[in-house]
Amino acid sequence: MERVAAMATVSSCSTSSLVAATGSSKQAANVQSLGSCRVLSGGVKLRGAAGVRVVSAVRENGAVRVVSKQAAVSTPTKESAVEKEVYDCVVVGAGISGLCTAQALSTRHGSVVSNVLVTEAKDRVGGNITTVQGDGFLWEEGPNSFQPNDSMLAAAIDSGLKDELVLGDPQSPRYVLWGGRLRPVPAGPADLPFFDLLSIFGKLRAGFGAMGLRPAAPGREESVKEFVTRNLGQEVFERLIEPFCSGVYAGDPSKLSMKAAFGKVWKLEEIGGSIIGGTFKMIQDKKNNPPPPRDERLPKPKGQTVGSFKKGLITLPNAIAAQLGDKVKVNWKLTTIKKTDVGYTLTYETPEGTKTVNARSLVLTVPAYVAKEILRPLSEGAAEALSQFYYPPVCAATISYPLSALREDRLTDGKLFGFGQLHPRTQGVQTLGTIYSSSLFPNRAPEDRVLLLNYIGGAQFTQITEKSDEEIVKTVDKDLRTMLLKPDAPAPQMHGVRTWPTAIPQFTIGHLDHLESAKGALKNANCEGLFLGGNYVVGVALGRCVEGAYESAQAIAQYVSQIPAKTGSS
Ligand SMILES: Cc1cc2nc3c(=O)[nH]c(=O)nc-3n(C[C@H](O)[C@H](O)[C@H](O)COP(=O)(O)OP(=O)(O)OC[C@H]3O[C@@H](n4cnc5c(N)ncnc54)[C@H](O)[C@@H]3O)c2cc1C
């Protein structure tokens, strides 16, 4: 069982208040099964921690929705016939990457890849995506939102979720803490002259650097810190990019690779000799080779914004799993892969005992640290390369305050307006950043309360795993009192504190080489038809995971179309 922190005393259960305990629990909670409905009991008493109170809450996340809504996603019967079948493709892992791969295989490549199986170790789909609901609040314990790129929007539309989509107000400011004040980040080039996050000198340095008046590239892979400082100056790095790296990767920018982590920006200098030169070149290239017409079913987000669904991010994995029906097996943990003359035999631990399935192709969308152990018997080289990837811990601490606890100068028309705030490591606060959850999307909290999702930990504060939930909330509360809250603000209500011991893969220097080594080693071991997918392969943002899933599906379909159809037996 995964962790449940600071939860809940639940005494009643209905279809809309189902509870799943997901997460390894520091403070063990008890999960009681009542037919298809589970009740989490075992409230956690918090002492100290600035008088933090425990709020009773009901968890409604992917686990329960999937299990309860459609038995199709449950485990099969003992002597299931599917085990004899040779699947065109088995997708391992039902996070966003695995589900979107399977969805694309079924809907876009169904004529070639006609039978797909998705297998998931946990009792729920969604992977990192973890929406929780209770006491009038709805919050995320993993990712909080996505950038609505076309692939992400296509996944939502293909899953029948057009009316469920919610997009944040593009005017919503983001803030960075600098010099004791929260300062807005420029929303676009027009804001550049007016914003006060950078000094005049910093702006000029960035402008000249972007035009190409800066030291030449060193001819080796640069860290994010090196690239940005060289191209745009120290201020842009310290005040914009360093906190941004915390926000996206919970990472250390002196170790993250510019090419691997922010490849699109890195490429601008490559193709155009400078960031501005590359931007012009890119615009020109786009004009000369216009992309295919945009899918007209997709909504057009106005400006820079982020998206989710009315009932949280878990809506998408649940909808895809519902579409795939009994092609999704949860509680199926892959343990071994063997090569056969048909393709591969995969062995699973399931509640009904060991299951094996045969497949012509497979894609592993599990984290690298899982893939490396499974692949070791097939290729020591691939396992070694995959063991280079680092996943630091991150904690998502969701708390709320009454609206009246906020400082007047943080309010616009009596409301907290904005996406959230980021805190550079130099500014004396531990919390990496705070999302204004109740301002960003509707129906996240009662009208009179402000729901805040705080991320803390990451590559530069790995000791977060040693902190108790009370200590974490106390730290976050202390930080917020220096920025957002009135001195006499009451203690926060604590809704969920979830520490991910291995949260987000870091695209550090050498990442792309390690990935190529892993793929090369699999090729040398004649593992054709075995694909690597998931966030450490394509990028950590949800939108990028979906794009990567579509690319994987295309490659799998191409592979399957080229191999002679064979039958096999288990
Ligand atoms: C705290 C946090 C905050 C984040 N915030 C954001 C954000 O706001 N916006 C954003 O765009 N991105 C964010 N991200 C990143 C994003 O959530 C992930 O990159 C994305 O969800 C990864 O999806 P995935 O399917 O590749 O991997 P996962 O979600 O990790 O899915 C892999 C699946 O494989 C399963 N699995 C593991 N082992 C086995 C096995 N042996 N057999 C079968 N199945 C197995 C796992 O149980 C899991 O379900 C955040 C991530 C974290 C952790």
What digits encode the pLDDT tens for the residues 493-520? 999 999 999 999 999 999 999 999 999 9
Give residue-wise pLDDT tens across range 187-218: 877 787 789 999 999 999 999 999 999 999 99
What is d(CA 98, CA 545) in angstroms, rounded to the nearest whole number?
9
33, pLDDT greater than 80: no
pTM of the model: 0.88
Which atom in ligand 1 lies closest to the alpha carbon of residue 396?
1
- Beta-bridge partners for 126: 95
pLDDT for the residue 478: 98
Cβ-based burial of 201 (10 A; exposed 0-12, middle 13-18, buried ≥19) = exposed
pLDDT for the residue 279: 97
CA of 328 from ligand 1 middle (Å) equals 17
Average pLDDT over residues 61-86: 43
pLDDT for the residue 193: 76
Give residue-wise pLDDT tens across range 331-367: 999 999 999 999 999 999 999 999 999 999 999 999 9
Q: What residues line ligand 1, using a CB cutoff of 6 Å? A: 92-98, 119-122, 127-129, 142-146, 333-334, 365-367, 370, 394, 396, 500, 503-504, 534-535, 540-542, 545
CA of 396 from ligand 1 middle (Å) equals 14
Give residue-wise pLDDT tens across range 136-195: 999 999 999 999 999 999 999 999 999 999 999 999 999 999 999 999 998 877 787 789
For the chain, report the end-to-end CA distance as a whole number of angstroms: 31
Atom 50 (ligand 1) nearest CA: 143
Angle between helices 150-158 and 542-562 (to 10 degrees): 70
Give residue-wise pLDDT tens across range 383-396: 999 999 999 999 99
Average pLDDT over residues 221-247: 97
- Beta-bridge partners for 496: 398
pLDDT for the residue 51: 35
Between 370 and 68, residue with greater pLDDT: 370
For every residue of 426-475, which 3-state class applies, written as one string? HHCCCCCEEEEHHHHCCCCCCCCEEEEEEEEECCCCHHHHHCCHHHHHHH
- 570 to 77, 92, 467: CA distances (angstroms): 17, 18, 48
Atom 1 (ligand 1) nearest CA: 142
Atom 6 (ligand 1) nearest CA: 143
Question: Among 366, 398, 532, 550, which is best to mutate for testing ligand 1, by the most ligand atoms less than 8 A from CB?
Answer: 366
Average pLDDT over residues 318-327: 98
Between 66 and 182, residue with greater pLDDT: 182
> What b/e sequence results for 143-153 when a residue is b if at least 16 CB atoms lie within 10 Å of its CB, and e otherwise?
bbbbebbebbb
pLDDT for the residue 192: 75
486, pLDDT greater than 50: yes
For every residue of 360-385, which 3-state class applies, written as one string? EEEEECCCHHHHHHHHCCCCHHHHHH
What is d(CA 67, CA 71) in angstroms, rounded to the nearest whole number?
6
Atom 26 (ligand 1) nearest CA: 534
Which atom in ligand 1 lies closest to the alpha carbon of residue 366?
34
What is d(CA 518, CA 380) in angstroms, rounded to the nearest whole number?
9
Strands 307-309 and 165-167: antiparallel
Average pLDDT, the chain: 87
Q: What residues have CB less than 8 Å from 80, skipping those under 6 apart?
A: 355
Q: What residues have CB less than 8 Å from 254, skipping those under 6 apart?
A: 223, 224, 225, 226
Which atom in ligand 1 lies closest to the alpha carbon of residue 144?
8
Nearest to 403 by CA among 412, 394, 392: 412
Which atom in ligand 1 lies closest to the alpha carbon of residue 128?
29
Atom 49 (ligand 1) nearest CA: 127
Q: Are 329 and 118 in contact (CB under 8 A)?
A: yes
pLDDT for the residue 483: 97
Atom 19 (ligand 1) nearest CA: 540
pLDDT for the residue 66: 28
CA of 217 from ligand 1 middle (Å) equals 34
CA of 95 from ligand 1 middle (Å) equals 6
For 273: left if phi > 0, alpha if psi spans -120 to 50, otherwise beta; the answer is left
Which atom in ligand 1 lies closest to the alpha carbon of residue 98?
25
Q: Are 166 and 193 in contact (CB under 8 A)?
A: no
